[in-house]
């Protein structure tokens, strides 16, 4: 991953945006990682992975609950109890 200082990023923001289309760019401030600039396509890909991972997790929880005998009716009962 390409790395650039925050000062250099400010001075060449257009170039930074161009570079981010090809690979993520790490912005460093005071020699510490501060941010990563990435293309909208890469952001969309990562967001899609997070959504897919969450959906797979939910499906797994649902399957486990069903295998232990949890039904829609039992779930409604549990959620409406005081």
Structural domains in the chain, CATH included, are 2-38 (3.40.1620.10), 49-80 (no CATH)
- Largest Cα separation within the chain, whole Å, is 61
* Coil, helix or strand at residue 39: coil
CA–CA distance, 6 with 9 (Å, rounded to integer): 5
pTM attached to this predicted model: 0.63
> Could you report the per-residue pLDDT of 14-67, keeping only the tens digit for each?
999 999 999 999 999 999 999 999 999 999 999 999 999 999 999 999 999 999
User: What is the pLDDT at residue 22?
Assistant: 96
CA–CA distance, 72 with 47 (Å, rounded to integer): 30
């Amino acid at each position: 991953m390409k790395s650039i200082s925050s000062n250099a990023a400010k001075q060449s923001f257009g170039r930074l945006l161009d570079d981010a289309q090809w690979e993520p760019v790490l912005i460093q401030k005071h020699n510490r990682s501060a941010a990563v600039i990435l293309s909208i396509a890469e952001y969309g890909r990562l967001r899609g992975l997070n959504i897919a991972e969450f959906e797979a997790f939910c499906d797994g929880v649902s399957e486990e609950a069903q295998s232990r005998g949890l039904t829609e009716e039992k779930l409604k009962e549990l959620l409406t109890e005081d």
